[in-house]
Amino acid sequence: MKMKGARILIEALKREGVDTIFGYSGGASLHIFDALYRFNQDNPNDGIRLVMTRHEAGAAHAADCYGRATGKAGVLLVTSGPGATNCVTGLATAIMDSAPMVMISGQVPSGMIGNDAFQETDIIGVTRPIVKHSYLIQRTEDTARIVKEAFHVAETGRPGPVLIDFPKDMQFNEIEPEWVESVNIRGYQPKLYAEKEELEAAAALIMKAERPVVYGGGGLVLGDASNEFREFVWKTQIPTTVTLMGLGAFPETDPLALKMPGMHGSRAANYAIQDSDLLIALGPRFDDRVTGNLAKFAPHAKIIHVDIDPSAISKNVKVDIPIVGHLKYVIPELTKLVDKTNIESWRRTCDLWKQKHPFRYEPKPDVIMPQQVIEEIWNITQGKAILTSDVGQHQMWAAQHYDHIEPRRWFNSGGLGTMGFGLPAALGAQVALPEELVICVSGDGSIIMNIQELVTLKTEKLNVKTVILNNNWLGMVRQWQELLYDERYAASDLHDNPDFAKVAEAFGVKGMRVTKPEELRSALEEAFSYDGPVVMDIFVDETENVYPMVPPGAALDEMVGGMA
C-alpha cells in the first residue's frame, strides 16, 4: 500500500513504540502534523499523543526529560527555520547530559534548500556539534530506515539527541514503504563487555587499596545499572560518592554514601576523594565542577574508569586502568572478582567526616530558609516523588538537602546549566509517569524563562507542582558577585519580578504565596494533595548562599563555608 512520506514517518514512529510527541506546528511540518492527526483518527485506541507546548524550547526540554524518565527516546516535532532553531538549547542540554531524544524538523522543499527560502535554516549545519547524529531525508524511500537508525543511535551506547530534517517534498511524495526490522550501522558498534585482563587488573587494585572511593556518575542511571552498582558497593563496602547527574543510583541514606562531590558537594566526599589512594570511577565524565583544580585533583589516587564512551576516558583526567564497556554488563563481572575490602580504618575516617561536616544551615525565626523548603519536601514525600530543577542555588540545595534514594527520579541540566529547563522537564516527566508526584524546584530567575508552559500543564491536565524558591535575585550570580566581585551586583537583581502566584492564576493554574516559616509545611501539603498543577511562590532568605563551595582554581579540599 502506497503512503506519503509523512505517514510513513508516523507509522515508523509507532513501530518504535512511540506513544507521545512533544511539538509545535508550522508551515514546513504541516504534512507531518496532518499525518499524525489522521493516524490518530484511524487508530482511536492506539494512537500517538501529541502534547502541544507553547514554545519549541519547552517541547525540547519536555522530550528530553521524557527520555530520561523512561530510558526511551523522547520525540520532538517542530517546523523549519525559527521552529528548529528554538530547539538548539534543548539539543545542547540533551547532548551534555546524554539524554535520548529524536528531533524531527520540517524543512523547505529539497529544491529550495540553500536559496534563503522563507523559514529556511540549515539546521543540520547549525546543530552538528550538539547532536549525536543527524539525517537529512533526501529520498522518501529512506524514511523508515532513517527512523529506525535514529532511535537505535539515540538510545544505545552513550545516549543522546538525534536530528531528522525532513524536506516538505519528501513528506508529500507517495511510495510503497519498506519497513526495516533491524539496524546494523558500520562504524557504530558500541562495545558492551570489558576485556578479562582489564577487569582482573582493576580487581587487583581494588583489593589492595587502603583508601578506595567509588565515584559514580550519570552513566549509572542512563545505563540502568543502579542495581548492579549497589551490589558492587555493598559487596566491597567501599565509601561511595555519586555526582549530581547520578543522584539516586545509590541511596543517600546508606551508611556508605558520602553524598555528592564537587564545587557544592559534601566535605566528606571531597575530603575522601582528595585523600584516596584509588578512585573507582563508574560512569562519570570528570567534569570541572567535580574535579576542581585538575592539577590538584585526587593527588594520591590511581584511577579506574569504566565508561561506554571511549572518548570520555582520559579526556579530562588521565586514568590508570581504562575500561570501555556498558556499566550494566561490566559491573557484575567486576563484582565477581572482588570481595569485602579490609579498610575498617578508612571507613571510620569517612564516617567521622560525615558526622562532623553534614550539609547544614542556620534556621531563622522570621524568614523561610531555602534549605528548609527542600527538607520539608523530603519529610512529606520520603523520596516518593520525582524532582526536576532549574539551574542555580535552588538546584544545589535540592541536590544537597533531599535524600536521593532511587534512580530516574531527579532530573536537572547538569552539563549545560540551562535556566528554564525545570518546568518543561517536569511536564515531560509527568507525561511519561502520570501516576507519580512530580515537583519542579525552580528559582525566580529560571521560572520565567519557560513560564508559558503553564498553559500546557493546564490544557493537558498535568499534575505538576512548581516550587519557586524566591530570593529576588539571580541567586548563584549574586553569590559569586558577593564573594568574588566585591559585591558589585550587576544584572542580578530581580526585585522587579511579578507576583508568580497571580501569574499562575492568570494561566488558569492554582497559585500560592508563602512568606512565613510556620506556613510552609501546611502549604506544601495542600499543594501536593491538590488535584491539578500548582505554582508555589515561596519567599526565602535573600542573603543565603550555597555552602560548602570550592572557589575557582582551588582543590576539592580547599572548600569555604559549610563548617559543622
342 CB neighbour count, 10 Å cutoff: 12
349 in the same domain as 374: no
- Cβ partners under 8 Å of residue 514, min gap 6: 368, 520, 523, 536, 537, 538, 539
Structure-derived torsion over alpha carbons of residues 111, 116, 119, 123, reported in degrees to the nearest 10: 80
The answer to whether residue 198 is catalytic is: no
**pLDDT of amino acid 228:** 98
The answer to whether residue 371 is catalytic is: no
**pLDDT of amino acid 323:** 98
10 in the same domain as 159: yes
Residue at which a domain ends, from 298, 331, 356: 356
Domain presence at residue 387 = yes
- Annotated catalytic residue, options 119, 207, 482, 505: 119
CA distance 564 to 555: 20
Angle between helices 393-401 and 475-484 in degrees, nearest 10: 100
The answer to whether residue 476 is catalytic is: yes
The answer to whether residue 56 is catalytic is: yes
- Domain hosting 534: range is 370-539
219 in the same domain as 100: no
Domain presence at residue 103 = yes
221 in the same domain as 158: no
CA distance 233 to 200: 17
95 in the same domain as 243: no
- Annotated catalytic residue, options 2, 118, 174, 210: 118
287 in the same domain as 142: no
523 in the same domain as 412: yes
* Beta-sheet strand order (sheet of 74-78): 49-52, 20-23, 74-78, 101-107, 161-167, 133-136
Q: How many domains does the chain have?
A: 3
Using the structure block, give the residue that is written with the C-alpha cell 570520555: 312
Q: Which amino acid is at 452?
A: Q
User: What's phi and psi for 201, nearest 5 deg?
Assistant: -65, -40
Report the Cα–Cα distance between both ends of the chain, in Å, rounded: 72
Domain presence at residue 136 = yes
- Cβ partners under 8 Å of residue 60, min gap 6: 22, 76, 86, 87, 89, 90, 91, 93, 94, 101, 103, 424
Using the structure block, give the residue that is written with the C-alpha cell 582489564: 198
- Annotated catalytic residue, options 419, 476, 549, 559: 476
Query: 290: domain CATH number?
Result: 3.40.50.1220
283 in the same domain as 249: yes
For the chain, the C-alpha Rg in angstroms (whole number) is 24
211 in the same domain as 75: no
Residue 288, classed as helix, strand or coil, is: helix
Grid cell of 449 as nine digits: 524563562
The answer to whether residue 479 is catalytic is: no
Domain presence at residue 158 = yes
346 in the same domain as 204: yes
Q: For each of the chain's 564 residues, which pLDDT tens digit applies?
A: 899 999 999 999 999 999 999 999 999 999 999 999 999 999 999 999 999 999 999 999 999 999 999 999 999 999 999 999 999 999 999 999 999 999 999 999 999 999 999 999 999 999 999 999 999 999 999 999 999 999 999 999 999 999 999 999 999 999 999 999 999 999 999 999 999 999 999 999 999 999 999 999 999 999 999 999 999 999 999 999 999 999 999 999 999 999 999 999 999 999 999 999 999 999 999 999 999 999 999 999 999 999 999 999 999 999 999 999 999 999 999 999 999 999 999 999 999 999 999 999 999 999 999 999 999 999 999 999 999 999 999 999 999 999 999 999 999 999 999 999 999 999 999 999 999 999 999 999 999 999 999 999 999 999 999 999 999 999 999 999 999 999 999 999 999 999 999 999 999 999 999 999 999 999 999 999 999 999 999 999 999 999 999 999 999 999 999 865
User: What's phi and psi for 504, nearest 5 deg?
Assistant: -60, -45
Domain presence at residue 481 = yes
Domain presence at residue 213 = yes
67 in the same domain as 34: yes
CA distance 84 to 76: 10
Helix ranges, 108-210 (H): 123-127, 143-155, 168-172, 196-208
- Cβ partners under 8 Å of residue 37, min gap 6: none
- Annotated catalytic residue, options 168, 259, 328, 465: 168
Query: 486: domain CATH number?
Result: 3.40.50.970
Domain presence at residue 551 = no
Contacts of 400-404 with C-beta under 8 Å, sequence gap 24+, read 400/259, 400/260, 400/264, 400/266, 400/359, 400/371, 400/374, 400/546, 401/359, 401/371, 401/374, 401/375, 402/374, 402/375, 402/377, 402/378, 403/251, 403/252, 403/253, 403/378, 404/247, 404/248, 404/251, 404/252
240, 257, 376, 403, 564 from 252: Cα distances, Å: 9, 5, 17, 6, 19
277 in the same domain as 383: no
Helix ranges, 516-558 (H): 517-529
pTM value > 0.95 = yes
Domain presence at residue 437 = yes
CA distance 372 to 361: 9
Burial of 553 (0-12, 13-18, 19+ CB in 10 A): exposed
**pLDDT of amino acid 564:** 53
